[in-house]
Amino acid sequence: MALKGELYTADTFSEEQIASVKKHFLELLGQEVSFEIKRNEALIGGFLAIIDGKIYDASVSHRIKETENVLVHGNDADGAEITAEDVNLTGSKPKPFHSSAKAIGSALKQRLDTYEGKSAVYEFGVVTSVGDGVVRIDGLSHTRYGEQIAFNNEIYGMTMDLETDGVGAVLLNGQDEVHVGERVYGTGRVVEVPVGDELLGRVVSPIGLPMDNKPLNAKRYRPVESPAPRIIDRQAVNHPLMTGLIAVDGIIPIGRGQRELIIGDRQTGKTTIAIDTIINQRGKHVYCVYVAIGQKLSTVAQIYETLQAVGAMEYTVIVVSNASDCAAMQYLAPYAGCAIAEQFMYDGKDALIVYDDLSKHAVAYRAMSLLLHRPPGREAYPGDVFYLHSRLLERAGHLNDKLGGGSLTALPIVETMASDISAYIPTNVISITDGQIYLEPELFHAGVRPAVNVGLSVSRVGSSAQKKAMRKVVKKLRLTLAQYRELQIFAQFGSDIDSVTKEILDSGDRLSETLKQAQHEPLQMSEQVLLLYAVMNGYLKEVPSPHVRAFQKGLLQYAHHNYSPLLDDIESSGDLTDEQIKELSACIENYHLTCKA
């Protein structure tokens, strides 16, 4: 039985030419093809055939396009000339980090056009339904999961559901411009994002479109989704990634290659901990990626200004999917950010990525899944919502030396409601990660910042991700804090307190004051060791609790001025010898004498 097809030609073909075309497809497909002949002068010359849901483009116009793309390739970020007007950044009041649907479509089109070895054979389908950014397509039987598909007018989507009778896809731009009956073309490429050092200091969208009104000259691309490193490709997590926060580095240490969850209610300082950690990587050769998922643009602009002011943008990339973006863009954002950070890891470097936050990511995925008519489960989330985050967070790790020894540390953020950490998404992410930093609203409102709850916070890597010097001074820190918190509760109910209890409460008060820290003022490891050694060894007994922070600030200044070599030695060696302990004691005692004088 002969296949039916359509044959478009620029000029009228003779019988001999049509017979030649039929013979060509008989050899190619192994079946005879019966063509309906149509004219299309836009082809200029040659022909374009549509057979069994595939387009075979042997036209002159197609060859001209390929030649033009080769000539212009490398002119800018994606081979495209995107003007300031395209990304909507001109005018008296430009929107910060905003990108238009036109700019997204143009960038994706030009990126696809510049791929080498692009086939002249395309598979197509037909839109059967469209609404709320979700499209059902009849055809595209050979498409892949996550493949980029093309509509008319430079509109693109991504396949999400592969079914026997068609494909379900989400639109990346032009949500209101796709219509039923329209043809959809498979591109043969999964969604990719630019990677490499060119992105440092930049703000980009989940598809790699610059959002800071500057050209992006990217040379490499990476799929937004890729398999996690195998177990045999990894090595143990034993090198610390310092956050600069005493409460975290002392009690809940984080190692390079670890996945540590930051969890807590709204407005408890979750993002602040992440930003402080990024700031503390200055000079430590750690490349950082901050992913904003569903955030207000004003919030992202504020974070950008903070990082820019302290010089942290030199080694940081910000990936933005704002609150007004479609669910597909919010879904893509963490995977795109992970691809960017992952490239640093595979290049043998250390990287840190912050996902802010995965609660909004799960909500965006739920919206997409419900629109795709996937069966809802608990809290209306689809059944694969666990896999959604596990395949993302498993990409973090510490590669072995054969693969370059690079690492990717992940700090996912999850927002809880009314301190309920037993909700669906929090418990899912807790079970995937290697520990969590739980921020308690009561502590935050009581002025304990960072408001880390020592009892519910844990690091499963533990002391193996701490320097020896830190390990020596924090041996009894968690136990002392736990005793203090417990006695503090009981002390509220009674007026008579014995001397031992009063001493524990007093020392606990001073320890709590030591753990308090102003935002965006991270401390070096040697500074933390000095402060913790002072409070854990009773050197602050004579200092009233309200004056502890002022005393410690003065102590740090005194140590930097008079004992700078000691701090440098501790910082470089990471150890604390008996001789150095004597010097630390002398430093604190001498400062005491200076204060009294």
What DSSP string runs through 508-555?
Answer: HHHHHHHH---TT----HHHHHHHHHHHHTTTTTTS-GGGHHHHHHHH
Selection from 120, 315, 83, 316 nearest residue 215 by Cα? 83
Check whether 92 has a pLDDT greater than 60: no
Q: What is the pLDDT of residue 165?
A: 83
Residues 6+ apart with CB under 8 A from 42: 10, 61
Residues 376 and 54: their CA atoms lie apart, in Å, by 35
Q: Please indicate whether residue 460 is annotated as part of the active site.
A: yes
**Predicted confidence band at 439 (pLDDT cuts at 50, 70, 90)?**
very high
Q: How confident is the model at residue 140 (pLDDT cuts 50, 70, 90)?
A: confident
DSSP per-residue letters across 148-178:
EEE-STT-EEEEEEEETTEEEEEESS-TTS-
Give the percent of the chain with pLDDT over 70.
90
Q: Among the listed ranges 6-15, 45-54, 156-165, 316-325, which one has the minimum average pLDDT value? A: 45-54
Residue 99 is predicted with a pLDDT of 65
Nearest to 390 by CA among 338, 351, 345, 439: 338
Return d(Cα 373, Cα 368) in angstroms, integer: 9
CATH architecture for residues 232-440? 3-Layer(aba) Sandwich (3.40)
Comma-separated ranges of CATH 2.40.30.20 domains in the chain: 3-193
The encoded tokens of residue 274 equal 């992440």
In this prediction, residues 566-584 reach a mean pLDDT of: 94
Say if residue 52's pLDDT is above 50.
yes
Predicted confidence band of residue 441 (pLDDT cuts 50, 70, 90): very high
pLDDT of residue 192: 93
pLDDT range class, residue 495, cuts 50, 70, 90: low
- The proportion of the chain whose per-residue pLDDT surpasses 90, expressed as a percent, equals 62
- Residue 442 C-alpha from the chain's centroid: 29
Which of these, 87, 372, 355, lies nearest to 212 by C-alpha position?
87
Flag whether pLDDT at 66 surpasses 70. Answer: no
Is residue 215 within 8 A of residue 77, CB to CB? The reply is yes
Cα 137 from Cα 129, distance rounded (Å): 7
pLDDT band at 489 (very low <50, low <70, confident <90, very high): confident
Which residue in the block uniquely carries the two structure tokens 């950014």? Answer: 133
**Encoding tokens for residue 589?**
């005692």
Q: Of 255, 235, 236, 231, give the one whose Cα is nearest residue 400.
A: 235
Say if residue 332's pLDDT is above 80.
Answer: yes
Tell me how far apart the alpha carbons of residues 382 and 388 are, in angstroms, rounded to a whole number. Answer: 10
Q: Give the pLDDT confidence score for residue 86 in this predicted structure.
A: 37
- Name residue 474's amino acid: V
333 in Cβ contact with 291 (< 8 Å): yes
Q: Give yes or no for residue 71 having a pLDDT over 50.
A: no
- Is pLDDT at 398 greater than 60 in this prediction? yes
pLDDT at residue 529, rounded to an integer: 96
- Picking from 141, 120, 129, the residue whose alpha carbon sits closest to that of residue 53 is 141
The neighbour count for residue 454, using CB atoms within 10 Å, is 21
Helix 525-536 to helix 477-491 angle (10° resolution) is 50
3 state DSSP class of 116: coil
Mean pLDDT of 203-220: 90
Phi, psi of 248 (to 5 degrees): -90, -55
The mean pLDDT value of the chain amounts to 87
pLDDT of residue 63 exceeding 60: yes
**pLDDT tens, residue by residue, 272-314:** 999 999 999 999 999 999 999 999 999 999 999 999 999 999 9
CATH topology of domain 472-596: Lysin (1.20.150)
Tens digit of each residue's pLDDT (9 = 90 or more) over 333-368: 999 999 999 999 999 999 999 999 999 999 999 999
C-alpha–C-alpha distance, residues 363 and 380, integer Å: 10
Average pLDDT, stretch 539-568?
Answer: 93
Contact 244, 353 (CB under 8 A): no
Domain spanning 3-193, CATH architecture: Beta Barrel (2.40)
C-alpha dist (Å) from residue 171 to 122, 129, 133, 517: 19, 13, 5, 44
Question: Is 492 a residue whose pLDDT tops 50?
Answer: yes
List every span in the chain annotated with CATH 3.40.50.300. Answer: 232-440
Give the pLDDT confidence score for residue 16 in this predicted structure.
85
489 or 322: whose pLDDT is higher? 322
Write down the catalytic residue from 63, 234, 460, 549.
Answer: 460
Pick the range with the lowest mean pLDDT from 170-179, 227-236, 325-334, 432-441: 170-179
The pLDDT assigned to 85 comes to 35
User: Which amino acid, residue 264?
Assistant: G
How far apart are alpha carbons 20 and 191 in whole angstroms? 38
